[in-house]
Amino acid sequence: ACGSRFRPRVDPAMIVLVTWGERCLLGRKAAWPPQRFSALSGFVEFGESLEECVVREVREESGVAVDGASVRFVASQPWLFPRSLLLGFTAEAKHERIEVDREEMEDVRWFEASYLRAALADKDAADGFNIPSKTSL
- How do residues 75-126 score in pLDDT, each as one tens digit? 999 887 778 899 999 999 999 999 998 999 999 999 999 998 888 887 666 6
- 3-state SS record for the chain: CCCCCCCCCCEEEEEEEEEECCEEEEEECCCCCCCECECEEEECCCCCCHHHHHHHHHHHHHCCCECHHHCEEEEEEECCCCCEEEEEEEEEECCCCCCCCCCCCCEEEEEEHHHHHHHHHCHHHCCCCECCCCCCC
pTM beyond 0.85: the answer is: yes
